[in-house]
Amino acid sequence: MTNTWQDIKNANVVIVMGGNAAEAHPCGFKWVIEAKIENGAKLVVVDPRFTRTASVADYYAPIRPGTDIAFLSGVMHYLLTNDKIQHSYVKNYTNASLLVKDEFTFTDGLFSGFNDQTHSYDKGSWDYEIGDDGFAKADDTWQNPRCVINLLKQHVSRYTPEMVSRICGTPQDKFLHICELIAGTSAPDRAMTSLFALGWTQHTVGAQNIRAMAMVQLLLGNIGVAGGGMNALRGHSNIQGLTDIGLLSNQMPGYLNLPTDKETSFDEYMKTRQFKPLRPGQTSYYQNTKKMTVSLMKALFGDAATVDNHWGYDLLPKLDIPLYDIIKAFEMMNNGQMTGYICQGFNPLQAFPDRGKIRAGLSKLKFLVTMDPLDTETSRFWQDFGPQNPARSREIQTEVFQLPTTCFAEENGSLVNSARWLQWHWKAADAPGIAKSDLWIMSGLFQRLRALYQKEGGAFPDALMGMTWKYTDPWEPDPEELAKEMNGKFLADVTDPVTQVTSKAGTLLDGFGQLHDDGSTASGCWIFAGCFTEKGNQMARRDATDPREQGIAPNWAWAWPANRRILYNRASADPEGKAWNPKKPVVEWNGSKWVGIDVPDYVVTQKPSANDGPFIMTVEGQGRLFARNLMAEGPFPEHYEPMESPVVNVLHPKVGPNPVARVFDHDRSNFGKPGDFPYVATTYRLTEHFHYWTKHALINAILQPEEFIEIGEALAKEKGIDQGGWVKVSSKRGEVVCKAYVTKRIKPLMVDGKATHVIGCPIHWGFTGQARKGYGANTLTPSVGDANTQTPEFKAFLVNVEKTSAPVG
């Protein structure tokens, strides 16, 4: 989230698209209701189903799963042709004026540089014209046809209301009404907030879905302001924290990347990261990357990281491919390329696409370790549970360890919520039986492995031996010690050149501004610097005071970066530093510095006249309507059909789905055709459940006891399916037998003149826990991910549905 949960109440329009906030985040959704009641806001919901969010919406429109880019491009087309953009904002705060290289083109669904052998782009042409001064060229008059804004206009010109309706199945009048509501927030003092979640990410074009809305928001001037922003509601309680700390194949803490094979040396690695500004006078904060990286290496390897060994650069693993993501991992397992897998609080047999493939992959492992408070399906993948898990135990040679862990109520620590707040929590009781904390288990493994390597030697023990482990109890480090390590500290006495204050070695850092690249500071996660300072645990702060009740609460817990609650908040003020919306200012220039209810996302003393853009993390200082080379599919979002689609891509029939999606051969042969699987299916959560956990909780099992699908009345009638009756839903990959909920909330959509039926598949049931046994919707879903992130395409695929009888067993 760029903003806070409470800040949603400042919105004039709330658009929920690519998510179902009321069901997935009820307590955050209260701020939408608050916006409606206190701010007269209009709630707009665009969703394939009439959800519980839609039930309290002012306006609802249906959309075919997987066509959000067409819808949003249509919105951009509307805004640009009807001149409903926030001109001053777009001109000053986005890259609309910058000129793009002449070689950059878009024809028949493909951007320039496509290689149809490798299914990837040479992104060389996806950039600005660079002048002799090394800065990007610009035309502030927007006369030059190569201006980003003009290229964008041209790009979205195909997305007329007729075309949007043809692709999305959204009736034109509904689409246009929503455009009008959205366009109203182009006024400087009005804001729209976009609330989205996995409804956008779980597509082969997931990242581009979000980009499309981010561009809409930039055109409207809604980023950085109160009641605006791009608000990813996110999933698990600490999914933000795990992303921040980089528990992803290619990540290190604080959004630093793991090196690749191409970056053979530390200098090589730094060269591609310390981005120089592309416009005059810009901050381009990533110029400080070396300070962050060195401080991380000092935190990780301590004395084993020195100038001489390039801060231990070779102690880090390097990647030969962009990602060893989970789809890749299961591909490798199925190919016999993996020996062991550890699932810590993760249940891939339920959570990952093409369940049959997941089960087969796990069966080929030598060992599987699960660490979980609950008895997960994954830990019992080898056991026969009837049709819901038809495993042949005796043929499966995998050794399985099921390790019991503590749960939230039984440990201290911090979690990062989607508004980037780090909040500390305390232990209330002991764990049941002899369950142990993850810290104890991971430390136990670490210590044992160290001992084994010490005794026996083995492959490259240096990183294992060099990893810092200076904890009071090395067998179960105290969470506070770890929090302090992430926050960082001085390793030597350092004198601040401005204030002349000397910080002693060992002093905790106050913020990432104190980082150095000479090894005098250590910080395990630079963006968390400031969370645990000499003043104490900032994450445990409990002052809920909220100036002007504008939803900032700056002294409650601590938010990264630097306790800032609204990202890019400099953009809440006009170029002169006055708030766009005088009723809800965030930060303003008072003549000598930036002040306000939030920590300015800006150099506090930087004058407005300095012309330093508000987006200080980017090389332009501006929001990007043109993404340069940062996306896999292209600098502008383009509508590509889901990998399994009921129709051809009417914009460019030859380029149907995402041309750069990574598809493994085995998976490609497992895609279904509309002839066999004529209905569009989508998967989702219900508000009564949290993924695959709450079926273990009796109350939640009572509230939604049994697996079902949602099907429109028209299709149910056609197929003779009764309300509450049994149905078989099948895809190319498997079948699910469950109950049917025949509903008015899903209506057939007219897509390119054809009635298209959508089937909804809630995901929550499996074969362990309290609720009734289910097959799991991931039995049906295709194993293919977003081209940038490899997030699986759970939201749009093809199925067939038939009436059947109850499963046996």
| Segment 214 to 233, residues that bind other proteins, using CB under 8 A | 233
Q: Which of 312, 693, 675, 643 is nearest to 467 (CA)?
A: 312
Should residue 485 be labelled a site residue for other proteins when binding is judged by CB under 8 A? yes
Partner residues linked to 44 by β-bridges? 15, 59
Should residue 547 be labelled a site residue for other proteins when binding is judged by CB under 8 A? no
Omega into 575 within 30° of 0, i.e. cis? no
Which member of 92, 144, 388, 437 binds other proteins (CB under 8 A)? 437
Which member of 382, 640, 679, 692 binds other proteins (CB under 8 A)? 382
Q: Which of 759, 779, 760, 776 is nearest to 768 (CA)?
A: 776
Which member of 647, 681, 701, 729 binds other proteins (CB under 8 A)? 701
Nearer to other proteins, 62 or 635 (CB): 62
Which member of 154, 698, 718, 805 binds other proteins (CB under 8 A)? 698
C-alpha–C-alpha distance, residues 391 and 455, integer Å: 40
Should residue 805 be labelled a site residue for other proteins when binding is judged by CB under 8 A? no
C-alpha–C-alpha distance, residues 392 and 807, integer Å: 19
Which member of 2, 73, 94, 240 binds other proteins (CB under 8 A)? 240
Should residue 775 be labelled a site residue for other proteins when binding is judged by CB under 8 A? no
User: To the nearest whole angstrom, how small is the minimum distance from the Cβ of residue 307 to other proteins?
Assistant: 18
Should residue 37 be labelled a site residue for other proteins when binding is judged by CB under 8 A? yes
Nearer to other proteins, 281 or 317 (CB): 317
594-596 vs 587-589, strand pairing mode: antiparallel
Structure token digits, residue 664:
């493994």
Nearer to other proteins, 26 or 513 (CB): 26
Site for other proteins in 404-423 (CB under 8 A): 404-405, 407-409, 411-419, 421-423
User: To the nearest whole angstrom, how small is the minimum distance from the Cβ of residue 517 to other proteins?
Assistant: 21
Which member of 792, 796, 798, 801 binds other proteins (CB under 8 A)? 792
Should residue 393 be labelled a site residue for other proteins when binding is judged by CB under 8 A? yes
Cα within 13 Å of Cα(234), Cβ side: 20
Which member of 101, 772, 803, 804 binds other proteins (CB under 8 A)? 772
Helix (H) or strand (E) run with residue 360 in it: helix 355-363
Q: What are phi and psi of 218, to 5 degrees?
A: -65, -40
Which residues are within 8 A (CB) of 696 and not within 5 positions of it... i.e. 6 or more apart? 374, 375, 768, 769, 770
User: To the nearest whole angstrom, how small is the minimum distance from the Cβ of residue 679 to other proteins?
Assistant: 19
Burial class from Cβ neighbours inside 10 Å (0-12, 13-18, 19+) for residue 652 reads middle
User: To the nearest whole angstrom, how small is the minimum distance from the Cβ of residue 103 to other proteins?
Assistant: 31
Helices 161-168, 172-183: inter-axial angle, 10-degree rounding: 120
Should residue 490 be labelled a site residue for other proteins when binding is judged by CB under 8 A? no
User: To the nearest whole angstrom, how small is the minimum distance from the Cβ of residue 568 to other proteins?
Assistant: 20
Should residue 597 be labelled a site residue for other proteins when binding is judged by CB under 8 A? no
Spacing of C-alpha 593 from chain mean position: 34
Q: Mark 198-217 with x for binding to other proteins (rule: CB under 8 A) and - for no binding.
A: x---x---------------
Spacing of C-alpha 394 from chain mean position: 40
The conformation of residue 231, written as its DSSP 8-state character, comes to: E
C-alpha–C-alpha distance, residues 40 and 190, integer Å: 12
Nearer to other proteins, 97 or 533 (CB): 533
The number of beta carbons lying within 10 Å of the beta carbon of residue 676 is 12
Which member of 317, 474, 536, 547 binds other proteins (CB under 8 A)? 317
Task: Count how many residues are written for the chain.
Answer: 809
User: To the nearest whole angstrom, how small is the minimum distance from the Cβ of residue 489 to other proteins?
Assistant: 15
Should residue 369 be labelled a site residue for other proteins when binding is judged by CB under 8 A? yes
Should residue 171 be labelled a site residue for other proteins when binding is judged by CB under 8 A? no
C-alpha–C-alpha distance, residues 76 and 92, integer Å: 19
C-alpha–C-alpha distance, residues 690 and 686, integer Å: 8
Should residue 561 be labelled a site residue for other proteins when binding is judged by CB under 8 A? no
Should residue 663 be labelled a site residue for other proteins when binding is judged by CB under 8 A? no
In this chain, which stretch among 74-82, 576-584, 705-713, 751-759 interacts with other proteins, using CB under 8 A? 705-713
C-alpha–C-alpha distance, residues 21 and 429, integer Å: 32
Should residue 176 be labelled a site residue for other proteins when binding is judged by CB under 8 A? no
Site for other proteins in 106-165 (CB under 8 A): none
Nearer to other proteins, 137 or 484 (CB): 484
Site for other proteins in 455-484 (CB under 8 A): 456, 458-460, 463-464, 466-468, 477, 479, 482-483
Q: Please name the amino acid found at residue 718.
A: E
Alpha helices for 642-788 (secondary structure H)? 665-668, 698-703, 713-719
Spacing of C-alpha 100 from chain mean position: 28
Structure token digits, residue 1:
């989230």
How many chain residues bind other proteins (CB under 8 A)?
201
Site for other proteins in 600-639 (CB under 8 A): none
Which residue do the tokens 């708030």 mark?
Answer: 579
Nearer to other proteins, 13 or 138 (CB): 13
Which member of 171, 235, 387, 807 binds other proteins (CB under 8 A)? 235
Cα within 13 Å of Cα(534), Cβ side: 10
Should residue 22 be labelled a site residue for other proteins when binding is judged by CB under 8 A? yes
C-alpha–C-alpha distance, residues 348 and 331, integer Å: 13
Which residues are within 8 A (CB) of 406 and not within 5 positions of it... i.e. 6 or more apart? 373, 431, 435, 436, 437, 438
Site for other proteins in 573-592 (CB under 8 A): none
Nearer to other proteins, 98 or 371 (CB): 371
Should residue 383 be labelled a site residue for other proteins when binding is judged by CB under 8 A? yes
C-alpha–C-alpha distance, residues 125 and 634, integer Å: 10
Which residue do the tokens 């109203």 mark?
Answer: 184
User: To the nearest whole angstrom, how small is the minimum distance from the Cβ of residue 25 to other proteins?
Assistant: 5
User: To the nearest whole angstrom, how small is the minimum distance from the Cβ of residue 628 to other proteins?
Assistant: 24
Which member of 427, 593, 652, 719 binds other proteins (CB under 8 A)? 427
Site for other proteins in 247-306 (CB under 8 A): 247-249, 252-253, 258, 261, 264, 300
Spacing of C-alpha 625 from chain mean position: 19
Which member of 398, 507, 611, 629 binds other proteins (CB under 8 A)? 398
